[in-house]
Chain A
Amino acid sequence: MPTTVRVECTINDETREFLCEPRQSLLECLRDVLGLTGTKEGCNDGNCGSCTVMMDGRIVPSCLVLGVESQGSEITTIEGVARGSELHPLQTAFLESAALQCGICTPGFIVAAKALLDRNPRPDEHEIRLWLANNLCRCTGYDKIIRAVQQAAATLQEAK
């Protein structure tokens, strides 16, 4: 009896096929099967936001999604945020605002913040804090992260 299941989905605009065990999470599939280790594991129970990815237009903690559930879906991970060698304005803003210290939560924050700016290009401070309350950062006290998101929002507005 086979112990793995074939899954086909789109990850960062590329069609990917992989085999996974039914008990493996999407997070495990991304990291251990597909080698996309930019998505981080902080708690494996949906409470820290480090493993946040976009799945069919929604942000999800990938540790709470089974690999087999990603069949046919469209997924964006941190590896898909930059366009080639060009950083996304959020990534640039995180660097310029010193919005990361250890950096382990950064991929989750950037994916989540991108989802926010995609649907609300001009969020106020409270809206940013509320949206990012699912993502824990223990280093920064959030101040510089909030400012980085505000800066990125401004940059994206200017580009329009």
Chain B
Amino acid sequence: MSTQEYAVLGTRPVRHDGADKVTGRAIYGADIHLAGLLQGAILRSPHAHARIVRIDTRRAEALPGVKAVVTAADLAVSQDRIVDLGEGDTPLSYLRGNVLASGKVLYKGHAVAAVAAASLHVAEEAASLIDVEYEPLPCVLTTLDAMREDAPILHDGLRTTEFGEKTGRVSNVAEHFRHELGDVSAGFAEADVVVEHEFRTATVHQGYIEPHTATVLWNNDGRILVWCSTQGAFVVRDVTACILDVPVSRVKVTPLEIGGGFGGKIPVYLEPVAALLSKKSGRPVKITMTRRDVFEGTGPTPGSVIRVKMGARKDGRIVAAQAWMAYEAGAYPGAMVGPGAMCVFAAYDIANVVVDGFDVVVNKPSTAAYRAPGATNAAFATESVVDELAEKLGLDPLEFRLKNAAREGTRRADGPKYPRIGCVEVIEAMKNHPHYSAPLEGPNRGRGVAIGFWFNAGLPSSCTLSVNADGSVNLVEGSTDIGGTRTSVAMQAAEVLGIGAEDVRPEVADTDSVGFTAVTGGSRVTFATGWAAYEAAQDVVRQMKERAAKLWETDAASVTLDHGVFRSGDRSMTFRDLAARLGETGGPVTGRGAVNPRSAGGSFSGCIADVQVDPETGKVDVLRFTAVQDAGKAIHPAYVEGQMQGGSAQGIGWALNEEYHMSPDGAMQNASLLDYRMPTALDLPMIDTVIVEVPNPIHPFGVRGVGEANIVPPPATLANAIYHATGVRLRSLPMNPPAVAEAIWSKEG
């Protein structure tokens, strides 16, 4: 556990951007206004799968007020290549094809053409005047259907990669991979109890409240200026440049405040299209998605079919585990089955494991990351099976997990051996929490537990600091701030410098003004950008010591810094006083930090939930909910709690209500926030939190990313709680009232 004393870390200062965000002054993506601004609208496919025979834009172009119309024919034609989108490699042709469809549409909502006009209403009217002739094709909507040999094929050029080798077989299975550890047959032979089930999870959306928006000016000097809402300004720059086939230096991205992302604002949808419209019209163009566009045209997270088999001995030791995982990628390969397969048994020390993963394309929107992408689906299966094993062995579910918990030195089936991790500490904190031992009385009530893991990401981050004469420090970083990370990054610089969090002014800069910084994703900002800020602050300290040495005519090596006071012998000076004397000691002091950690240490989490199930209607009420997570070192505990509460709420929504209701012809039936039922304030209890601190050995302050692991356990936690309330195990998400009621009726016969 963390024992070091800090002055700034672990406190709860008000965020630097706070006043702007409670007064309406903060400028979010859609709030920007430029002189001569045009509004754009996108025409989307009404078919889930169709060949585009012909597009006639003449009627749209003739509408008064219309300034430009574009289709895929306006996109650059260049050779296909692999592009790193920030969380994985993608062929350029897929990125380009998803931005504006060419040849075929692959899902209902696929962008086909776009219009820029003097007003949004004119643009929308013009979009409806574009005549597109489609030749509808049979569509396929589920992984299992898409894996059949006679399934309609989405991509004629997609050949299955099997165990890393190209097979030459054209199918909807982009990849089949396997992780193996030990001898799974021998492991199961040793088991006294074996449990095996199939689980399904529905396609769900991240549900950020701010729709995607982008404003682009293709300037007269050839520079492409972008203002947008994104999780990664550099990703937008690089992907936009690739799609438009221009060098990255031609594109400048200014990230505005972002209204939620959860992984869904990593992909690029609008920027290249707005750029083409701007080039054609000679005016800046803003495109903002409607809520329907967000549901139908952006990436939800994959639905999945997962079979999990686990075996344990009577002494409570899990001896073998096997998973078969097929995730639906949507229209283009890249389902989050890779991370799902790395996480499926990641919380346990199991000697014999086999995991098979399948990345399958279907006629739904191309999926994107969603908070610990792939791991929640996987944990729903594993943690349900673990619960059943514990019951069959007559063991307490947390004792059983503790007995098998991953520890330092445990090898995961996909290869890595854990450094110091906090899985055991999380389970112990759950066991010791009063919630776990509190009496739960009354009929139809039950308590469930589950744990989860997310490995987090490292990746590049940059930060610069400049010291002001009043002793304050300006901090420039490249991580768009979705949940208060400006402050958690600034606090790490402040800790090193021995000044207050409020003495550091953090600013998220555009792509011309700060070094390359990867996406705000993988729970990496407080970890990696915080680390860059730590390095930049160390750089400042080194220079400030030299300045003090100069003033005191001594050796810089003799100067120390402690709690904001420089000392050498009996002389001392505060950071603030020294900052006022930079001019006379050599001029401004700026510090820089750039890091590229290859791993991030990982975070474990666990939940305890009490539910009450209405046996008549199947409605599940969450009575009490406790979330536990290892934060390594909680830089700003209130923001760590906020991440845990937010991830829990999203996990509860995923568990109980949320799903894409698809018609047989591939149309989403609930593409509004009324019908896509996310949790409201009335649906949830207070969410209690316990922050565990097992310092991350690779981070200077021991930080572990905390944004994601918290969403992993809730669906399994609630499934286990529902079982203990009703005696019925639900193995399909969402566990909505009809599903729960039907399961209860089936049990009762």
Contact = CB atoms under 8 A, between A and B. Distances in A.
B22 A100 contact: yes
B210 A98 contact: no
Nearest to B638: A98
A133 B22 contact: no
B21 interface: yes
Nearest to B28: A104
B645 A98 contact: no
A50 B684 contact: no
Contact of B258 (A21, A42, A102): A102
B723 interface: no
Interface string B636-654: 0011011001111110000
Contact of A140 (B27, B31, B482, B646): B646
A138 interface: yes
B484 A104 contact: no
Contacts of B438: none
B681 A142 contact: yes
A43 B21 contact: no
B7 to A, nearest CB: 20
A15 B104 CA distance: 53
A42 B681 contact: no
Contacts of B18: 95, 100
A94 B22 contact: yes
Contact of A139 (B19, B22, B121, B646): B646
A133 B680 CA distance: 5
B664 interface: no
Interface string B5-38: 0000000101101110111111110110100000
A138 B687 contact: no
B24 A104 contact: no
Interface residues of B, number: 59
Contacts of A41: 30, 211, 288
A128 interface: yes
Contact of B648 (A81, A110, A132, A141): A141
A2 interface: no
A128 B259 contact: no
B175 to A, nearest CB: 31
A52 to B, nearest CB: 12
B557 interface: no
A136 B673 contact: yes
Contacts of A78: 23-24
A79 B23 contact: yes
Interface string B248-262: 000000000111111
B291 A103 contact: no
Interface string B208-221: 11110000000000
A146 B21 CA distance: 18
Nearest to A90: B22
A136 B680 contact: yes
A87 interface: yes
A23 B646 CA distance: 37
Contacts of B641: 98, 144
A119 B638 CA distance: 30
Given A42-B209, A102-B259, A135 B26 contact: no
A101 interface: yes
Interface string A22-58: 0110001001100111111111110110100000000
Contacts of B673: 42-43, 45, 47-48, 136
Which secondary structure dominates where chain B touches chain A? loop
Contacts of A136: 209, 673, 678, 680
A138 B650 contact: yes
Interface string A102-140: 111111001000000000000001001110111111111
B277 to A, nearest CB: 18
Nearest to A148: B22
Contacts of B14: 95-96
A96, A129, A135 interface centre (most CB from chain B within 10 Å): A129
A23 B21 contact: no
Nearest to A103: B21
A44 B650 CA distance: 22
B580 interface: no
Given A45-B291, A50-B209, A101 B646 contact: yes
Nearest to A142: B681
Contacts of A35: 33
B2 interface: no
Nearest to A101: B483
B19 A87 contact: yes
B483 A102 contact: yes
A81 B28 CA distance: 19
B672 interface: yes
Given A95-B15, A98-B484, A138 B262 contact: yes
B209 A87 contact: no
Nearest to A82: B23
A103 B23 contact: no
Nearest to B653: A138
A107 B24 contact: yes
B23 A48 contact: no
Contacts of A77: 24
B642 A140 contact: yes
B290 interface: yes
A47 B670 CA distance: 13
Nearest to B121: A23
A135 B642 contact: no
Interface in B243-273: 257-262
Nearest to A39: B24
Given A40-B259, A145-B681, A139 B483 contact: yes
B207 interface: yes
A81, A98, A130, A133 interface centre (most CB from chain B within 10 Å): A98
Contacts of B209: 40, 42, 48, 50, 102, 104-105, 136-138
Contacts of A158: none
A44 B291 contact: yes
Contact of B484 (A94, A101, A110): A101
Contact of B24 (A79, A100, A132, A146): A79
Interface string B649-685: 1100000000000000000000011100011111010
9 contacts: A21-B119, A41-B211, A42-B673, A43-B672, A106-B21, A132-B681, A136-B673, A140-B646, A141-B648
Interface of B: 12, 14-15, 17-19, 21-28, 30-31, 33, 119-121, 206-211, 257-262, 288, 290-291, 482-484, 638-639, 641-642, 645-650, 672-674, 678-682, 684, 686-687
Given A81-B23, A142-B681, 20 more contacts: A23-B121, A28-B120, A31-B30, A31-B31, A35-B33, A38-B23, A38-B24, A41-B211, A42-B291, A45-B291, A47-B673, A87-B22, A87-B23, A100-B22, A101-B646, A102-B210, A133-B681, A136-B680, A140-B642, A144-B642
Interface of A: 21, 23-24, 28, 31-32, 35-45, 47-48, 50, 77-79, 81-82, 87, 91, 94-98, 100-107, 110, 125, 128-130, 132-146
Closest 6 CB pairs of A and B: A38-B24, A104-B259, A141-B649, A141-B645, A103-B21, A78-B24
